[in-house]
Copies of this chain bind each other. A is one copy, B any other.
């Protein structure tokens, strides 16, 4: 039996396409002493992976051409030569896009299917939930009674951020790109209002109307023109969590926009780039709080589940077509 692998064939220019990925095979890996053999079960595909496909210095090294891609994966331990794990355990970690792989166990967390569905550990209890929670906590410093604006609001991070805003007693307004998403934001995630940016000609005015007391915290997953429109609506001492810029990820040239510094000065606004990995030491208490809210039925989430190992590249590409609702997960 051969082991299937997905490698980066070439660096995408603009929006990624299937041609940028290569399927290859290798002999089945054998775990050495102290190692595990893992079988991939659930694969998380996320917009930030687009950044790692570029050959530039960033917070994690870029993917290499001709090498396997990797992302957050839930795998089952099918063989163990490591006393910390036993056959049948499920683990969560940054793993390669392979059907089977070996690991020495470093960086893997055991996950318990009794507490929540396994897939939840890739989403609301995983990096996306932690991103929403810690972004609001560490940069947003969201306070009861404030107004929270969220872009990419139907997405895996945005939907959790908005719900945390409601738990904290804030007015929460979401921005998304379809009527179906707008309905979900309001009904499933209990946002107070939602704006469909695809059918709104004047975003600045739409945000002003939806946020009658201005915007105190803006959780930004998209960047670009929606960020511009949010910035002019920020209150004195407003905080912008620059968590993502999906509207710019596939652009091949440097994008320009209105200069932000006059607005920042005028209203003492803070903008800060946020990478959840900077706060690894806070993951424990954050996961506990998210788990508690899950138990209490205070956090809803959406998943778009795609089947089959071979579907991983297309599922990733579809993120940039807005095809996912909530977390995009591939079940192998």
Contacts and interface: CB of A to CB of B under 8 A. Distances in A.
Interface of A: 51, 58-59, 220, 223-224, 227, 236-237, 242-245, 248, 254-275, 278
Number of copies: 2
Q: In terms of DSSP, what is the predominant structure of the interface of chain A?
A: mixed
A285 to B, nearest CB: 20
A14 B157 CA distance: 43
Nearest to A51: B266
Nearest to A260: B260
A213 B259 CA distance: 27
A267 B59 contact: yes
A273 B269 contact: yes
Nearest to A237: B278
A271 B268 contact: no
Contact of A266 (B58, B261, B263, B278): B58
Nearest to A254: B258
Contacts of A244: 265
Contacts of A274: 265, 268
A264 B236 contact: no
A58 B262 CA distance: 11
